[in-house]
């Protein structure tokens, strides 16, 4: 800035001396004409006029340099203002990572950094909290039609590319602001397994089986003959015995013999 000021002062001084040089040239011309040297003045260039023209040219050149210097100063001031707005020189960042979460209410995106620029090297492999700007460019690169990216698409597990600026006003707590978010690969939807209800079998009341009584065919009759087995069937009947009684005895004996043999 000191150099620019000195250059401007020199230019102003030259502009002030130029009229004096012209006046001096006029006086010299009058003096030369009074001495009868008009012919010599016509042949030789007027030194004072040349000096005045040269001074004017130098002043214009100095003014041009001053304007150029002022333009550079304005440009530098603009860069300084932009750097101040972004913080610490307005450093930028680019990263690729996997979405951990996204809060649409606060526009807060948490990403596990996989790779990116040097400015986020310290965060590789770690979750990084990013504020998504209201005017950030949101692109769904996972779709062929490329529609605008919605908050619902930023689900956990999605792969994204994020670009933005870093505000290091507080060196201990840098603020990452995303100006661009591109969804590269959407997370696979989680399918809940469908569990069919188990049907309990209907149990009919148990029916007691009907058991037929088993008859032992080998069982012997429990009726014992009342006839003495020692009686000889071939004995001559006693005539004193009644025929009816005799026939009854014969029947009992026959039954006993049938059972025994």
Q: Residues 109, 130: contact at Cβ < 8 Å?
A: yes
Is pLDDT at 87 greater than 50 in this prediction? no
Mean pLDDT over 111-131 rounds to 94
Residue position matching structure tokens 């990013």: 130
Q: Is 219 exposed, middle or buried (0-12, 13-18, 19+ CB in 10 A)?
A: exposed
Q: For 136-156, what is each residue's pLDDT tens digit? A: 999 888 776 556 778 788 899
Is pLDDT at 90 greater than 60 in this prediction? no
- In this prediction, residue 129 has a pLDDT band, given cuts at 50, 70 and 90, of very high
Is pLDDT at 128 greater than 80 in this prediction? yes
Is this model's pTM higher than 0.75 or not? no
Residue 121 DSSP symbol: G
pLDDT at residue number 111 = 97
Q: What is the mean pLDDT of the chain?
A: 74
Is pLDDT at 199 greater than 90 in this prediction? no
What residue spans of 46-187 are helical by DSSP H?
Answer: 47-86
The secondary element (H helix, E strand) that includes residue 161 is: strand 159-167
What is the signed CA dihedral for 127, 128, 131, 133, rounded to 10 degrees?
A: -110
| Of 7 and 233, more confident | 7
Mean pLDDT over 198-209 rounds to 62
Q: Which two tokens stand for residue 75?
A: 């440009």
Q: For 29-70, what is each residue's pLDDT tens digit? A: 555 555 555 555 555 556 777 778 888 888 888 888 888 888
pLDDT at residue number 204 = 61
């Amino acid at each position: 800035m000191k150099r620019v000021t000195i250059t401007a002062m020199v230019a102003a001084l030259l502009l002030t001396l130029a009229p004096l040089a012209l006046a001096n040239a006029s006086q010299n011309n009058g003096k030369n004409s009074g001495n009868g040297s008009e012919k010599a003045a016509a042949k030789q260039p007027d030194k004072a006029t040349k000096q005045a023209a040269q001074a004017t040219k130098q002043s214009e050149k100095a003014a041009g340099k001053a304007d150029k210097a002022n333009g550079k100063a304005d440009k530098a001031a603009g860069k300084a203002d932009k750097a101040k707005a972004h913080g610490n020189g307005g450093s930028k960042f680019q990263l690729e990572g996997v979405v951990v979460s996204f809060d649409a209410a606060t526009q807060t995106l948490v990403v596990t950094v996989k790779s990116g620029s040097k400015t986020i090297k310290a965060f590789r492999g770690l979750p990084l909290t990013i504020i998504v700007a209201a005017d950030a460019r949101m692109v769904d690169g996972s779709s062929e039609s490329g529609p605008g990216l919605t908050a619902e698409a930023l689900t956990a597990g999605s792969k994204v590319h994020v670009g933005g600026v870093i505000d290091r006003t507080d060196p201990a707590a840098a603020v990452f602001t995303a100006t661009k978010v591109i969804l590269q690969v959407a997370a696979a939807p989680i399918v809940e397994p469908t569990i069919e209800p188990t049907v309990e079998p209907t149990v009919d009341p148990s029916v007691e089986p009907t058991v037929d009584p088993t008859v032992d065919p080998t069982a012997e009759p429990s009726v014992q003959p009342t006839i003495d087995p020692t009686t000889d069937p071939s004995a001559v009947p006693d005539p004193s015995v009644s025929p009816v009684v005799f026939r009854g005895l014969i029947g009992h004996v026959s039954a006993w013999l049938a059972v025994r043999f």
